[in-house]
Amino acid sequence: MSPDDQYKYTNTDDVPVGAAILDQYDDKLSPNGRWGFVEKCFEYSSSSDRSEQIVLWALCGEDLKALDISKLNLSSTWSGRAEEWKKMGATIEADAKDDPGVALILKQRETAKADWKTFEAKNHDAIVLYQKLKDGVRSSKSNDKNFEGCWNATYPAFAAAVKATKFHWDNQGDNPVESRVAQIDANPANYYTVANFGMCAYAAHPSGGVLAGAGIRGNNGAPPMGWRTMLISKLVDPKFKPKFTDRSLECCSENGAARHIRSPSFNTNHVRSEVSFPWSGGPMKTQTGNIAKMKKDGDDTVVSFHGTVVDGCVKSVSTNKIRTWDTAGDPVYETKCLKRGKVEEDAPDDATMGTKFVDGFENGLGVAFYGNFPEEVYNEKAKKFIAILGVVVKGSPAETPIKE
């Protein structure tokens, strides 16, 4: 991006999203890019109470200090605003010497840096791969060099996470894949595991984009991307309650001192806008059916279905009682069921799925899928899962579902 584009990128969204951008691209940003974040952060300071000014300074003061204003390719009026904000920060830092509450807020910055260093060291390889795979996604090429070797690098950990998860038998939600990912992401350590494999699955087959999108968004947003987003998490934590000698100050109520940095999905919003998955494997709606036959052709497997067999009415008679009227104004009469039994619902159309995702598929088994990505394969009679999100789960905790 050009310096002007960087400025627009870091300035047009909310403060937490800007923090996530700086966390990931800090050393790649021009002064204009850093200024976009600083300006967005401090534009609220003049209308903020003192408590919020302290919070904003804790988050953005260091980036303001690091800026060489003379290198900004912007109007000279900006330098005056920067000096005003620096004076505000100097007053806050002076107050911290006498007020333990102010000092504790500012101290969270160094604590966040230390915690991020520990987090990054523990997850270093996964974070590096995460950025690499996002570069592959941006290329829109399934054979991008950043995808090389990704299946072997990501599938084992993803399969282990799936097998270790106890899934609900009745999966709720408009997007069943997102619901399954949410159950895996109940353990936050699984975020990179799911997101990285999802992006690799996207390279393997168009329908993998369904899993990639759900994985990137995560259950409660992505984890911290650096010390700034780590700091935001600390400042908005309900357990964080600094005690001030100045009784006019408070931190960090939802509508008070942290309102401009309180955005639970800030990392989710960032990564959603940064990478997208335009390939579509099929209708973006939940479909279910029993496997009738399969035809494999390289990366594609065409799956044909029987309709799902359910309990229903096999013989009925119309009554004289009007239930409603159709669009032409004619009456629609109620029907009375005379005999119930097993009936077959309409079968879904043939679906072209990724060959790598059809492990566990056998004729007669039930499949629920979304965008032609298999959310689950199940044995209705035995009430067992055969596969979840393309992973065979036999013998694992995931095989026996949680029944509602």
Each residue's pLDDT tens digit, 234-243:
888 888 889 9
Tens digits of per-residue pLDDT, 33-64?
999 999 988 987 777 788 889 999 999 999 99
- Rounded Cα–Cα distance for residues 385 and 380 (Å): 9
* Distance between CA atoms of residues 260 and 154, nearest Å: 36
Sheet of strand 384-388: strand arrangement: 351-354, 300-306, 286-297, 366-370, 373-379, 384-388, 391-392
Give me the pLDDT at residue 372, please.
94
Closest CA to 222 of 273, 180, 163: 273
Give the pLDDT band (50/70/90) at residue 290. very high
pLDDT in tens, 162-195: 999 999 988 867 788 988 998 897 777 788 999 9
Say if 351 falls within a structural domain: no
Can you give the pLDDT at residue 65?
93
- Asked if the structure places residue 272 within a domain, the reply is no
* Structural domain includes residue 92: yes
Residue 21 lies in a domain: yes
Residue 77 pLDDT greater than 60, yes or no: no
Q: Please tell me the total count of domains within the chain.
A: 2
Question: Tell me, what amino acid is at 133?
Answer: L
Residue 229 shares a structural domain with residue 332: no
Whole-number pLDDT of residue 58: 95
CB-side neighbour CA atoms (13 Å) of 266: 27
Contacts of residue 248, defined as CB under 8 A and 6 or more positions apart, other chains included, come to 50
In this structure, what token pair is assigned to residue 242? 């600094």
* pLDDT value, residue 399: 95
Is the pLDDT at 146 greater than 60, yes or no? yes
According to the model, what pLDDT value does residue 121 have? Answer: 93
The pLDDT value given to residue 16: 84
pLDDT at 270: 54
Distance between CA atoms of residues 34 and 7, nearest Å: 7
| Of 40-44, 110-114, 121-125, 196-200, minimum mean pLDDT range | 40-44
Judge contact between 37 and 228, C-beta under 8 A: no
Q: pLDDT-based confidence at 322, cuts 50/70/90?
A: confident
**Structural domain contains residue 160:** no
259, 332: one domain: no
51 to each of 81, 95, 258, how far by Cα in Å? Answer: 20, 12, 8
- Whether 380 shows a pLDDT value over 70: the answer reads yes
User: Does the residue 209 lie in any domain?
Assistant: no
**pLDDT > 60? residue 209:** yes
d(CA 368, CA 342): 20
Residues 26 and 103 in one domain: yes
CB atoms within 10 A of CB 168: 13
Across 83-96, average pLDDT? 95
Contacts 24+ apart (CB under 8 A), 82-91: 82/38, 85/38, 85/42, 85/45, 88/45, 88/53, 88/57, 89/57, 89/61, 89/64, 89/65
What residue type is 102 in one-letter code?
A: V
Residue 125: how many other CB atoms lie within 10 Å: 11
**257 and 313 part of one domain:** no
- Looking up tokens 């992973």, which residue turns up? 391
Q: Check residue 37 and give its pLDDT.
A: 92
Q: Does 42 reside within a domain?
A: yes
Query: Per-residue pLDDT averaged across 375-402, rounded?
Result: 94
- The reported pLDDT for the residue numbered 252 is 76
- More confident call, 198 vs 275: 198
- Is 57 part of any domain? yes
Specify whether 258 is located in the same domain as 315: no
Q: Note the pLDDT of residue 8.
A: 87
259 plus 335 within the same structural domain: no
Q: Residue 329 belongs to what domain range?
A: 309-344
Whether 235 and 329 map to the same domain: the answer is: no
Whether residue 115 is found in the same domain as residue 9: yes
Do both 233 and 317 map to the same domain? no
Express as a percent the part of the chain with pLDDT over 90.
Answer: 49
CB atoms within 10 A of CB 403: 8
**Alpha carbon of residue 88 to chain centroid:** 36
Strand partners, 387: 377, 392
Answer yes or no: do 9 and 117 share one domain: yes
Q: What is the pLDDT of residue 243?
A: 92
Average pLDDT value over all residues in the chain: 86
Report whether pLDDT(338) > 60: yes
β-strands 286-297, 391-392 pairing: unpaired
Same domain for 256 and 319: no
CB 178 within 8 A of CB 185: no
Compare 384 and 266 and report the one with higher pLDDT. 384
